[in-house]
Amino acid sequence: ALTGLYLFPRGVDFSKYAEPGFEVFNANRNVFVQNWTADKDDQQNPYWILNRVPNFDIRNRLMTTASLSLKLSNSLSLQARGNMDKSFDTYEQHAYASTQATLANSNGRFILQNNQGTQLYGDVILSLNKGIGNLSVNANLGSSITDSKLNTEFFDSFGADLRFANKFSLQNIKQPGGTFQQSETRQQLQSVFGSLQLGYKSMLYLDVTGRNDWSSTLAYTSNASFFYPSAGLTAVLSEMFDMTGVDFAKVRASYAEVGSGVLPYDTNPLNSISPVNGLQPNTVGPLPGTELQPELSKSFEVGLDLRFLNNRLNFDLTYYSTSTENQRIAISAPSGSGFTRYIINAGDIENKGIEALVTIVPVQTPGFTWNTSFNITQNKNTVVKLDDRLNDGTFFISEPGVSNYGMALREGGSFGDLFGKQFQRDANGNIVVDGSGKPIPMSGALTFVGNPNPDFMLGWNNSFTFKSFTVNFLIDGRFGGEVMSITQAMMDELGVSQATADARDNGGIDVGAVKEDGTGAGILNAQTFFQGVGGRAGITENYVYDATNIRLRELAIGYNLPKSLVSKLGPVKGLRLSLVGRNLFFIKNEAPFDPDVSFSTGTGLQGVDVFSIPATRSFGFNLSATF
């Protein structure tokens, strides 16, 4: 919906395309059709999408739980639990006639999907809680089972069209054609687990756990059973030693492993049924001669908690290291193999970082208190190893296709690495243009242009209390990293951005470019330059920006009503009024959009702005009561 708004011609009056002008009557077809300035597959009237491409979602759920506890002795108990979660979902989309041709046929499009899911869970746990002198013992031994089943029916008129325009029913889908799919997915996880915590004088704690899973998703392999343990040690130093000037001191260290299976039927692909072609073999499966393995995450963490000056100066420090091995990845299968994709275990990714929090109470009087805290987080992500079959060590999570950008994994790089098309430059780094003044892209494959992950993040939180008034504000920032804006690239290509307007008004653009013979190119024609670098298939290096940004994340002002007034309200013990503003403004931001917006996109386009919803500031009024 936003694409049309971003790319709308700036010299055209938008009001005639807004409601009710988003559609006009077509006498030849006897239906209302979309009214818009462009007849392109990447643009539609947003009001048409809002009113004539509606989605309908209905969900009904039935949840039941049951539990039984038996106290076998003062220190020993047995618990059995079970629950069922059954869901019924219906989804429909009605796309009216004249919806863009890549999304609907001439008479519209009807999509219907019915999902029926059932998840059953049960466990039995034997627990021991016992004190032996200065030693406390807490132990659990149990077993669990999770069984998940999903039945799906999917109908889609796209490709076949509807017999009559804007009539959305299964009977109105032309035959033969359309899409009908029915599938049943089931997976089961059986587990046994145990844990033990030993405590000594409330100052020293040892925690040990172990779990073994049997996953149906790894059936037909020798890896259906996998074990993963954890261990942790905590010492309250302030209880163990006399530490003058220290209110509290604690150190902790832990190591943990977590295993997980793959997707259902990865190891034993199921066929599908087409109403036109009959039984169709599955084209995604395990690489012949290999066995899929469970994904395994290993983590190590140490931490320190210190408190001073009657808890008015506190430090909380953490260092962690996590590696994830045997990640599930789908790779392209060679032609003639009968498969389009092979499933393999191919990823080994490592994260190392620190987290630090400092809390201070600089002022604490009967009438006024100021609390402030600073936090910093820093994470280093590294792709340690990729399978040799992944395109010589590089694997695109989002395939570029006809576009000149994508996200890829590469050995020695980081998760989220962005690849794009770069400028051709001379030995001095100057952009090279052709005879018309159009920038020349670098030949060959896409190259690394940035990574959206920050070098570190900072936060500063403050709380002021003066009698019945409170003021809180939070400033945070992301420092380092790069983001990409395809929105800006598309706007530049069509000449509807502020950058193109400025270049036109200035008589062109000077980027210090040189011609192919090495002579200076001077001022470049704005239209030639931006149509050369803009668009999805342009020189995307031009649209990579520093992701550093600092903002006022939140500001809240509150007031507690006097007790003399509240006491007249019967059972109400306290009333508080507050005004809250969030995401109020940037203190620093170099990108032409909110970099945080791009971080919420799917895994394959993290850090890439593709017609994202603009960032908004919000204001709220709260009234809270205590009884």
Model pLDDT for residues 317-351, shown as the tens digit of each residue: 999 999 999 999 888 777 777 788 888 898 899 99
Model pLDDT for residues 162-210, shown as the tens digit of each residue: 999 999 999 999 988 888 888 899 999 999 999 999 999 999 999 999 9
Spans in the chain with pLDDT lower than 50 = none
Phi, psi values for residue 604, rounded to 5°: -75, -10
pLDDT at 249: 98
3-state per-residue secondary structure call for 464-530: EEECCEEEEEEEEEEECCEEEEHHHHHHHHHCCCHHHHHHHHCCCECCCCEECCCCECCCECHHHHH
CB 321 within 8 A of CB 270: no
Query: Looking at the whole model, is its pTM more than 0.85?
Result: yes
83-86 — which CB contacts under 8 Å span 24+ positions? 83/120, 83/121, 83/122, 84/118, 84/119, 84/120, 84/121, 85/61, 85/117, 85/118, 85/119, 86/61, 86/62, 86/116, 86/117, 86/118, 86/119
pLDDT at 274: 60
Helix, strand, coil share of the chain (percent; to 5): 10, 55, 35
Name, in order, each residue with C-beta under 8 angstroms of 465's C-beta and a sequence gap of 6 or more.
368, 369, 370
The H or E element that residue 115 is part of is strand 109-132
User: CA 336 to CA 299: how far, in whole Å?
Assistant: 42
**DSSP readout, 325-342?**
EEEEEEEEPPTTSS-SEE
pLDDT at 67: 98
Q: Quick one: tokens of 81?
A: 């639990």
Q: At what angle do helices 498-505 and 486-494 cross, to 10 degrees?
A: 40
The torsion defined by the Cα of 501, 506, 508 and 510, in degrees rounded to 10, comes to: -110
User: CA 419 to CA 450: how far, in whole Å?
Assistant: 7
Locate the domains of the chain by residue range.
1-52
pLDDT at 469: 96
pLDDT at 567: 80
Q: How far is CA 36 from CA 8, 13, 15, 487, in A?
A: 10, 12, 11, 20
Q: How far is CA 425 from the centre of its chain?
A: 36
User: CA 411 to CA 423: how far, in whole Å?
Assistant: 24
pLDDT at 599: 57
User: CA 376 to CA 353: how far, in whole Å?
Assistant: 10
User: CA 310 to CA 412: how far, in whole Å?
Assistant: 47
pLDDT at 558: 97
pLDDT at 399: 76
